[in-house]
Amino acid sequence: MNTVLKLQAEVMKLPQIEFSTFHFFADGMYARSVFRPAGAVIVGKVHKREHFYVVTKGKVAVTDGESEARIYEAGTILVSKPGTKRAVYALEDSVCITVHNTDNTDLDEIERELIEEDETALFDSSNKLIEDRADYQRILRETGFTAQERRLISENPEDQIPMPEGFNVTVSKSRIEGNGLFATVNFSSGEIIAPARIKDKRTPAGRFINHSVKPNAEMKLRGDTIFAVAKRDISEGEEITVYYLQAKAEGEKLCLG
% of the chain residues with pLDDT over 70? 97
The percent of residues above 90 in pLDDT, for the chain, comes to 61
Q: What is the pTM of this model?
A: 0.60
Q: What is the pLDDT of residue 129?
A: 63
**Mean pLDDT estimate for the chain:** 89
pLDDT band at 61 (very low <50, low <70, confident <90, very high): very high
pLDDT digits (tens, 9 = 90+) for 196-225: 999 989 999 999 999 998 999 999 999 999
Q: Give 12-28 pLDDT, tens digit per residue.
A: 777 788 889 999 999 99
pLDDT band at 113 (very low <50, low <70, confident <90, very high): very high
> What's the confidence (pLDDT) of residue 252?
84
How far, in Å, CA of 28 to CA of 184, rounded? 38
pLDDT attached to residue 141:
77
Q: What kind of architecture, by CATH, is found in domain 133-256?
A: Beta Complex (2.170)
Residue ranges of the chain that CATH labels 2.60.120.10: 3-124
Q: Quick check: 32 pLDDT over 80?
A: yes
Which residue ranges does the chain devote to CATH 2.170.270.10? 133-256
CATH superfamily, domain 3-124, is: Jelly Rolls (2.60.120.10)
* Residue range 143-180, pLDDT digits in tens: 887 777 877 888 888 889 999 999 999 999 887 888 99
